[in-house]
Amino acid sequence: MTTERPSAHSATDPSPATMTEEPARLLVDGTEVARYVLDPELDVRHGPRPYLHPVRTLGGTVVTDALPADHVWHLGASLAVQDVNGANLWGGRTYVRDVGYTWRDDHGVIAHAGHVERASDRYAHDLQWRDRAGRTLLTERRRLAASAVAPDAWRFDLDSALTAPGDREVRLGSPATNGRPGGAGYGGFFWRAAADGDPAVFTADAEGEEAVNGSAAPWLALTGVGPGGGAYTLVFAGLGRGDRWFVRTAMYPGVCVAFAFDRPAVVVAGETRHGRYRVWVADGTLDRNRAATLVGAVP
């Protein structure tokens, strides 16, 4: 059964999220480069979950966007999936086969469940992925780290271990797996980038949204302009088996390590899905050679 809801762009929506717990901060050589919001108080329709925002280059340019008017549920950089055994943990309307996007009472939350480690350059915690009734669908151990790689670039690392309950498998789906055409296979590690200027995207052998969306290239770069006019480049790596890149530049700048681009992903009962995602955050507009050099320097 579907329930009509007001538009997520209505005046009743909250503006920046309030928090019940202090964010974690990641520093590189004493400079804060990212703030990790642990427990945002958001309308459940916006997919409450921990997220990174603002993320900055070493030069201070902001490279994430959160709660944008076009998609209020885009929260900086985060892990989120629209269909987790039928629960919407992404936010916004749910794509229903043969119906389209529909407001439903199916929104869950991804909740901070406890600190594991906290330091200036790293943070680790436990999370619970819950459905609308509060039942735990998945548990997660997540680790974040920041490190310097060059005078004008630093690297963000996120390691995630998603574990299914011992008595049932968990299926991860997307609008694409639920019938939406056009390569809308989003859901996974998603980065909503700063929106000023004209973004561009490329891999080692392709460029442009149409060519890159759905690819399995080893790395992908997004260039853009942040608030205040600073140019930046984000270089992403970390596709797992079966993952694909979901990319948008025309409607908004965003990159996702998509878990279910064209078919559902399954976490077997009692087993764990591991992911390691890396993002190089650089000042300026990098070319292919520089992007490939950054990725190739990782042991």
Tens of pLDDT, residue by residue over 214-271, are 999 999 999 999 998 999 999 999 999 999 999 999 999 999 999 999 999 999 999 9
Please state the rounded mean pLDDT for residues 123-149.
Answer: 98
The chain-wide mean pLDDT, for the chain, equals 93
Query: How far is 32 from 236, CA to CA, in rounded Å?
Result: 20
Query: How far is 109 from 174, CA to CA, in rounded Å?
Result: 17
pLDDT of residue 25: 98
Domain count, the chain: 1
pLDDT > 80? residue 152: yes
pLDDT > 70? residue 17: no
Residue 148 lies in a domain: yes
Whether the CB-CB separation of 184 and 82 falls below 8 Å is answered with no
pLDDT > 90? residue 5: no
Query: How far is 219 from 291, CA to CA, in rounded Å?
Result: 9
The length of the chain in residues reads 299
- Domain of 103 in residue numbering reads as 18-296
Residue 11 lies in a domain: no
pLDDT > 60? residue 42: yes
pLDDT of residue 18: 56
3-state class (DSSP) for residue 296:
helix
Residue 285 lies in a domain: yes
pLDDT of residue 1: 32
pTM of the model: 0.93
pLDDT > 50? residue 4: no
Please state the rounded mean pLDDT for residues 165-173.
Answer: 98
Residue 119 lies in a domain: yes
- Give the distance, in angstroms, between the CA of residue 23 and the centroid of all CA atoms in the same chain: 17
Task: State which H helix or E strand residue 199 sits in.
Answer: strand 196-202
Please state the rounded mean pLDDT for residues 73-97.
Answer: 98
**Which amino acid belongs to residue 177?**
T
Residue 6 lies in a domain: no
| Radius of gyration in angstroms for the set of CA atoms belonging to the chain, rounded to a whole number | 18
pLDDT > 90? residue 57: yes
3-state class (DSSP) for residue 39:
coil
Residue 5 lies in a domain: no
pLDDT > 50? residue 11: no
Domain with 130 in it: what CATH number? Answer: 2.70.98
Beta strands in 120-251 (DSSP E): 122-130, 136-150, 153-163, 170-173, 188-192, 196-202, 219-225, 231-237, 244-248
pLDDT > 80? residue 13: no
Residue 138 lies in a domain: yes
pLDDT of residue 249: 97
